[in-house]
Structure formats: structure tokens, C-alpha cells
A and B are shown apart, each in its own frame.
Chain A
Amino acid sequence: GDSVTQMEGPVTLSEEAFLTINCTYTATGYPSLFWYVQYPGEGLQLLLKATKADDKGSNKGFEATYRKETTSFHLEKGSVQVSDSAVYFCALQGANSKLTFGKGITLSVRP
């Protein structure tokens, strides 16, 4: 079945540091890929998405590229801010339209 694997956390960075969060997936067919963010006490918000190979999703300075050859969708940001502190989930959506999530990773950004 479909699965998503995220790097182990938590991650603590200083403000303005470079961020990479790794995500790999296993799926049949050609899934769409997503990054969701969850701020404390809130539900999930879509951060960015990519629907086919080599697509790059971007939003709020975050980027991720759909790499079919490595089955990866790593999240990057060039300069993190304290306000980026949250839990980040990688997810895929297959032909049955359900979302399959990774375990999530907590990011803490220090001033």
C-alpha cells in the first residue's frame, strides 16, 4: 500500500538558517504530493503541493520538487523564521483520493 516516510525529528534551528526536511514515498501509479503544516492547537493547513513529476510546489518561501526517480519530495526553505515553528507533514494522494501522511516532524526556530 501507499506510505510516506519522513526524517526523524525534532529539528531545532536558529532564525535565518537553511531548512531541509526529507520525505520519501511509496505508491502505485502517479500520486499527488503535499506538505501540510500544523501550528499548535490548530488543524492542518496546506503549505504546498505538486501533482506530477518534476513539478515544484512553493509557498511562503518554502519549496519542494516532485522527484519520481528518487520517490522524494523534500521540503526546503532558505531562511527560516520563528513563526515557522510548527509540525510539518508530508502526504500523498493516490487514485482513491485519500491522503496518506508521514509521522510529521516538529520544527522549532530560535530567535
Chain B
Amino acid sequence: ETGVTQSPTHLIKTRGQQVTLRCSSQSGHNTVSWYQQALGQGPQFIFQYYREEENGRGNFPPRFSGLQFPNYSSELNVNALELDDSALYLCASSRRQVKWEHEQFFGPGTRLTVL
């Protein structure tokens, strides 16, 4: 069973640029959640995708957007990058069933540095 994978591992961008991060779900999972983890902090929920639609969003501006594809993989797009966007971006996949509570499995993350 393949776990959650993310690409790229590291990324350096400059302020104002745009970035796309990618996530492949664990086999059999239909839900993807994205989190931002600033240095020395706990992860903060960005949004969640279920069956290709956004299903919940945290306190992040619209320049953070996402997609989920029919194979349940996902992208996180960030426009007009700011210095404070520098963080580890974590993707988590899960299998939503009848019950709302479902264990989320995390990928290794993408380290984004904005200069």
C-alpha cells in the first residue's frame, strides 16, 4: 500500500510569484486535507477536498486555492506569495465513510521558502 506522497520536497520562490504543490492520496482514500505548518508552530488547516469539491476551509485568504482530481490526488495553489507563506505544507488523505471522524494520514510535506 502506497502512502501519501507530496512533491516537490523543497521549493524556493520570490515574493509575488505563484506556486503549485502536489499530493497523491493513499490508495483507497477519497478525501484530502491541506495544512500549513509555520516554523515552531502546529499545523493550521487550510481546506479539505472530498469528491473533487471543497468541503471546509480554514482562515486563509482566497489566494490559497486547491483542486482534487478524479483519482483523488490534489493540488494546492498559492498566488501572490508573501514572506509569511514560508512554511511546511502538509497534505493528509483519509477515507470518509458514514461517520465524520476519519483518520488522516500525512505526507512528508513540502518546504516552501519565499524570499
A binding-site residues for B, Cβ under 8 Å: 4, 32, 36, 42-46, 49, 51, 89, 91, 93, 95-104
Instruction: List CB contacts (< 8 Å) of B28-45 with chain A.
Output: 31, 33, 35, 40-45
Which of B4, B41, B90, B92 is A104 in contact with, Cβ under 8 Å?
Answer: B41
Q: How far is the CB of B99 from chain A (nearest CB, A)?
A: 9
B96 CB-CB contact with A under 8 Å: yes
Which of B44, B45, B90, B103 is A46 in contact with, Cβ under 8 Å?
Answer: B103
Task: Say what secondary structure dominates the interface of chain B.
Answer: loop
Which of B56, B100, B101, B106 is A43 in contact with, Cβ under 8 Å?
Answer: B106
Considering the chains assembled together, what is the distance between the CA atoms of A42 and B9 in angstroms? 11
The answer to whether B106 touches A45 (Cβ under 8 A) is yes
Q: How far is the CB of A91 from chain B (nearest CB, A)?
A: 8
The answer to whether B43 touches A32 (Cβ under 8 A) is no
Considering the chains assembled together, what is the distance between the CA atoms of A58 and B109 in angstroms? 26
